[in-house]
Structure 1
Amino acid sequence: MRILLVGCSGFVGRALVPLLLEGGHQLVLLSRSSTPLASVQSPQLQRLQADPAVAATWQVPAVQEALASSEAVINLAGEPIAEKRWSDAHRQLLSSSRINTTRALVAAMQALPEAQRPKTLISGSAIGYYGTSSSERFREASGAGGDFLAGLCQAWEQEAQTASAFARVVILRIGIVLGPDGGALGKMLPVFRMGFGGPIGNGQQWMSWITRHDLCRLIAEALANPAYQGTYNAVAPAPCSMATFASALGQVLGRPSLLPVPAPILQLLLGDGAKVVLEGQQVLSERLQQQGFVFEDPELSAALARATT
């Protein structure tokens, strides 16, 4: 399959691109980076740089050509959620990098002659769609939350769903992605390896997670299997508390995990962005299990063992 990947040069893309290439796919990477995944060399890989004008209009000829010749599009574009304090300007960037980019992408797909339109769109979202709760269990049919992240995810998904008029649309509400070189785990590993690790905040908040390995496998399977359609919670079947997560990580690394990180420290660093880590939600992957997706990392300890090596 010939695939256009949007926003796939970061933490997930570093593993997704090699996996898709191994599967025999032809890939075009569209990234804000001038050299996305430069370490990956393959005659089946083409790279295009997306400057702000491209993201806003998708009218650059090279991008239009790539879109018209692609059978599928994977859209994981978006500024990282928990990397900076949420100033008004950063909130706008978090929103526009997802909502505006997806809107323009779907409009560009729709503007193509019917015979040239990609037939599949896989678009990212996040479990932040549900808001946060210490007691509720969220399924794909659960309603949306009322906070900033929930509103962002709703608008992001609505733009992607517009493509369902002419393409098969798969939306993945992605949980906390576990890998050694990025995401929440990437930030925790150096501290735990020095013996200073522990739960963040009160430790009771839920963590709904998935290994990067399984997330990439899921994307590849959703591309290949036309039975995948609609919204899926991209999380492993065993959500856990932050305290359980910290204890399991300490055991896997052979290090103590008793020193909690006080919430005010994280709030000082990230402002409102700290709520991504300090508050959580128990999310269930019911539709994936009904679909027959087999997780290779369904249990936390084994998942952490893979994700830390």
Structure 2
Amino acid sequence: PEKAKRIFPDSAYPNLEIVAYQPKQSGPWQKFIDGCDGVVNLAGAGIADERWNASRKQEIMDSRKVTTEKLVEAIALANSKPSVLVSGSAIGYYGTSETATFDETSSSGNDFLSEVCRAWETAAEPVKDVGVRLVILRIGIVLGMGGTVSKMLTPFKLFAGGPIGSGKQWFSWIHIDDLVGLILHSLRHQEIEGKFNGTSPNPVRMGEFCQDLGLALNRPSWLPVPDFAIELLLGDGAVVVLEGQKVLPKQTQASGFEYQYPNVKPALKNILAP
């Protein structure tokens, strides 16, 4: 909870109560589910934070699947149940491709991240059996001050930025304000149920994204990061950044959600504004 307290200090959020969660365990945290209007589940170990090995891959899986199972158990046991669970998933559900286009009706892929996403989504499904509306958001790469953008800033500021890998891989992204907006949209609209892609309607190739990032910083995008460097750093996890998928949010748009930042240039300008 210490990290959460730094992000949400008491001075700015006096009515917010932060409760520690014990991964994979039942505990006192479960009582806070009772009486909630809605629950948002975004739990999960970072995909590209560490090099993948057997134990890290198990942590990536369990931090999503088991956490969601415990959360659904807590909802089922609540006397006053929330009306909705908004549960995270990821566009890794679809696998990777340089040529295919995916939407919410597309089938799942056959790699490790696809397996994780299927297990993650399946773990949330039983909440419907206790009368709770379920919305699953397959979230793309989130652009905000932190995460992907922050990791790429330093080389660009040193005039050493450039595309990762071939630059041809698809980069399906969403501005953090739009992701928050989509979560609120899902909570508020009772008719919304099922799977929705949490991505911008305008994905770009990695090379174009890096070019736009360089322009936003007034820096060139000229020095590619070779595949082998990413593979040395992340092992099998390199697939996260070296391969991508073109994902369109058809069901999201059909639900009436309106994006503040549908295009990457204005999104980056907003994020990097002084």
Q: Is the shorter-chain TM-score for this pair beyond 0.5, marking a shared fold? A: yes
Would you say the 8 A contact 2:141–2:173 is kept in 1?
yes
3-state secondary structure, aligned to 2:86: strand
Higher RCO (CA-CA < 8 Å; seq separation 6+): 2
TM-score by length of 1: 0.84
TM-score (ref. length: structure 2): 0.95
1:47 aligns with 2:18: yes
Aligned 8 A contact 1:34 1:49 in 2: no
2:60 to 80, 94, 113: 94
**After superposition, where does 1:5-24 map in structure 2 within 5 Å?**
none
CA contact (8 A) 1:127 1:283 kept: yes
Aligned to 1:242: 206
Within 5 Å, which residues of 2 pair with 1:286-305?
286-305=250-269
Greater Cα offset, 38-47 or 199-208: 38-47
Question: Are 1:198 and 1:257, in contact at CA under 8 Å, matched by a contact in 2?
Answer: yes
Which whole-Å CA distance do the structure 1 matches of 2:53 and 2:168 have between them?
A: 27
Q: Is the 8 A contact 1:79 1:97 kept in 2?
A: yes
Q: Match for residue 148 of structure 1?
A: 112
- Candidates 64, 71, 77, aligned match of 2:37: 71
Q: Do the aligned partners of 2:31 and 2:78 also contact (CA within 8 Å) in 1?
A: no
Distance 1:238 1:38 in 2: 31
- Which of 215, 219, 234 is the matching residue for 1:255? 219
CA–CA distance in 2 between the matches of 1:64 and 1:56?
A: 10
Q: Which residue of 2 aligns with 1:138?
A: 102
Q: Is the 2:174–2:200 Cα contact (8 Å) retained in structure 1? A: yes
Which residue of structure 2 lines up, in the alignment, with residue 284 of structure 1? 248
CA distance in 2, matches of 1:38, 1:305: 25
User: Do structure 1's residue 119 and structure 2's residue 83 form an aligned pair?
Assistant: yes
Aligned to 1:176: 141
Cα deviation for residue 98 of structure 1 reads 0.5
Cα 1:139–1:66, aligned 2, differ >3 Å: closer, same or farther?
same
Q: 1:36 to 1:76 in 2, by over 3 A?
A: farther
What does residue range 196-275 of structure 1 map to in structure 2 within 5 Å? Answer: 196-275=160-239
Aligned counterparts of 1:32 and 1:102: Cα–Cα separation in 2: 22
Aligned residues: 271
What is the CA distance between 1:189 and its match in structure 2? 1.2
Q: Which amino acid aligns with 2:99?
A: S
In the aligned structure 2, how far is the partner of 1:231 from the partner of 1:64? 25
Report Cα offsets for 1:83-104 as digits up to 9, x if no partner. Answer: 1011101011111110001001
Gaps of 5+ in 1: 1-30
SS in 1 for 2:252: helix
Q: What are the superposed Cα offsets for residues 231-285 of structure 1, whole Å, 9 maximum, x if unpaired?
A: 1000001111011111111111110101100010011111111111100000000
What code does the residue aligned with 2:142 have?
V
Change (3 A) 1:36 1:48: farther
Post-superposition shift, 1:171?
Answer: 0.5
Given the alignment, which residue of 61, 64, 73 partners 1:107? 73
Helix, strand or coil at the partner of 1:48:
coil
1:38 deviation in Å?
4.6
Q: Which moved further from structure 2: 243-252 or 146-155?
A: 243-252
1:54-77 deviations in Å (ceiling 9; x for gaps): x422x32xx233111211111001
